[in-house]
């Protein structure tokens, strides 16, 4: 496991054409990112969405930005307001936006303009099944995904659910960016193993930046 306080510099690890892991890229900003996550959660608390099929998601979620992603019996959708509370989503912190822009540019996507940030909180046993991010209107814009806290195994597959997948360990501060020819690849997170992270405690947090509209 990578040491939170190690001085090793970030580096890039290719995943596929249009997909790369920026190892340790968000490590230095991590304390400020965690503080911002908690501030967003004070305005819009984490909760477990219900899938259209009636299942409770194991990952707890909140959002910030112009739009937020949610799931309920009506399906998956981006909205300007949280349907649970009726309030607008908290604004995206400037630190979040700048990190997303910088990481996208470093990965070869200089024109990324996110308007939504999904914040996922994983507890031990929580997972995210293989899926495509395809609810966005502009699929030319990439996905930028920031990992904080406990390590997790990321699955990165092909363009059909049954395709073979790569399994890579994502650790604190790693950022995955995928777009272009890899934009619609299936991906997911295997069940989180228990642990205690110096900054995030018993959790893994994931910031996922998208251009929804």
Q: Is 5 annotated as a binding residue?
A: no
Are 6 and 23 in contact by the 8 Å Cβ rule? The answer is no
Q: Is 121 annotated as a binding residue?
A: yes
Q: Is 77 annotated as a binding residue?
A: yes
Q: Is 113 annotated as a binding residue?
A: no
Q: Is 122 annotated as a binding residue?
A: yes
Q: Is 83 annotated as a binding residue?
A: no
Q: Is 78 annotated as a binding residue?
A: yes
Are 161 and 130 in contact by the 8 Å Cβ rule? The answer is yes
Query: CB under 8 Å to 130, separation ≥6 — which residues?
Result: 155, 157, 161, 165, 186, 187, 188
Q: Is 210 annotated as a binding residue?
A: yes
Query: CB under 8 Å to 164, separation ≥6 — which residues?
Result: 157, 158
Q: Is 208 annotated as a binding residue?
A: yes
Q: Is 161 annotated as a binding residue?
A: yes
Q: Is 69 annotated as a binding residue?
A: yes
3-class SS at 41? helix
Q: What are the tokens at 16?
A: 């596929």
Q: Is 63 annotated as a binding residue?
A: no
Are 168 and 156 in contact by the 8 Å Cβ rule? The answer is yes
Q: Is 138 annotated as a binding residue?
A: no
Q: Is 186 annotated as a binding residue?
A: no
Q: Is 205 annotated as a binding residue?
A: yes
Give the residue ranges of the annotated binding site for 2-oxoglutarate. 120-122, 204-210
Give the residue ranges of the annotated binding site for Fe cation. 131, 133, 187
Give the residue ranges of the annotated binding site. 69, 76-78, 120-122, 131, 133, 135, 161, 187, 204-210
Give the residue ranges of the annotated binding site for substrate. 69, 76-78, 135, 161
């Amino acid at each position: 496991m990578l040491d939170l306080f190690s001085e090793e510099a970030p580096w890039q690890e290719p995943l596929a054409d249009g997909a790369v892991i920026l190892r340790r890229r968000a490590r230095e900003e991590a304390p400020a990112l965690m503080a911002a996550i908690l501030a967003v959660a004070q305005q819009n608390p984490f909760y477990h969405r219900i899938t259209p099929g009636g299942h409770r998601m194991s990952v707890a979620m909140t959002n910030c930005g112009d739009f937020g992603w949610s799931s309920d019996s009506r399906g998956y959708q981006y909205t300007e307001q949280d349907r649970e509370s009726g309030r607008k989503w908290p604004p995206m912190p400037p630190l979040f936006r700048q990190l997303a822009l910088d990481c996208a540019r470093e990965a070869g996507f200089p024109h990324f303009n996110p308007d939504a940030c999904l914040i996922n909180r994983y507890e031990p046993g929580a997972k995210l099944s293989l899926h495509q991010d395809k609810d966005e209107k502009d699929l030319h814009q990439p996905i930028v995904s920031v990992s904080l806290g406990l390590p997790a195994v990321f699955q990165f597959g092909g363009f059909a659910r049954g395709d073979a997948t790569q399994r890579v360990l994502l650790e604190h501060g790693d950022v995955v960016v995928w777009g272009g020819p890899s934009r619609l690849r299936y991906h997911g997170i295997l069940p989180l193993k228990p642990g205690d992270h110096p900054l995030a405690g018993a959790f893994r947090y994931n910031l996922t930046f998208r251009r929804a509209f």
